[in-house]
A and B are shown apart, each in its own frame.
Chain A
Amino acid sequence: QKEVEQDPGPLSVPEGAIVSLNCTYSNSAFQYFMWYRQYSRKGPELLMYTYSSGNKEDGRFTAQVDKSSKYISLFIRDSQPSDSATYLCAMEDDYKLSFGAGTTVTVRA
């Protein structure tokens, strides 16, 4: 079993819909939780990071962490075609990042 589990999708939604992504994990040592966005044939870029349980909002993006359930989520409101990408969750134990498999999202115009 992988340390970080993420449904690879794919996920297809109409423009303006809310996109909901999530990951579960098994390592209680994870302290920081991140979401990366990766466009086709590009490197991942950091979207958001959070520490400990709770919510963090940045524009149309909201990240949630529930450490008691070992579950993290990313919500994208008012989704746009430009949000079409692969979203990877990542978690840090010391300096090592463990990535989820990535969920491929397509927002249809």
Chain B
Amino acid sequence: DARVTQTPRHKVTEMGQEVTMRCQPILGHNTVFWYRQTMMQGLELLAYFRNRAPLDDSGMPKDRFSAEMPDATLATLKIQPSEPRDSAVYFCASGSGQGVRMNTEAFFGQGTRLTVV
């Protein structure tokens, strides 16, 4: 059963702490997206990787957020230091394909629900 796996599913942390979210894309997929979902802003693209290389992270606050793909089976999103306004659901999505059209077949994980108090 191929699926995008995200851990942890839930995270409650205190302001100022480091938060690391992990994503295992579907085996064989070469693109990975990180999205953030809030009631106010909806789904926002934070970062995009293709073949493990970061292609776009313009949606990500650079001073505190970082995204990496240490290998093809793992993508990470880190927040340091975390702030209450970072509270949201963070989704990872993966897909395959050579061109931009792969985006139409992006598969989403179940998300990490982050609460910063």
Contacts and interface: CB of A to CB of B under 8 A. Distances in A.
A44 B110 contact: no
B111 interface: yes
Interface string A66-109: 00000000000000000000001010101111011110000000
Interface residues of B, number: 22
Interface string B1-21: 000100000000000000000
Contact of B104 (A43, A44, A46, A94): A46
A44 B108 contact: yes
Contacts of B113: 41
B43 interface: yes
A100 B42 contact: yes
**Majority SS at the chain A contact face:** strand
Given A34-B104, A95-B103, A96-B56, A101 B42 contact: yes
Contact of A43 (B56, B93, B102, B103): B93
A61 interface: no
A99 B104 contact: no
B5 to A, nearest CB: 11
A102 B42 contact: yes
A44 B89 CA distance: 12
A43 B100 contact: no
Contacts of B45: 96-97
A94 B43 contact: no
B62 interface: no
A1 to B, nearest CB: 14
Interface string B90-106: 01010000001111111
A45 B110 CA distance: 10
A46 B106 contact: yes
Contacts of A88: 42-43
Contacts of A60: none
B34 interface: no
A43 B109 contact: yes
B100 A95 contact: yes
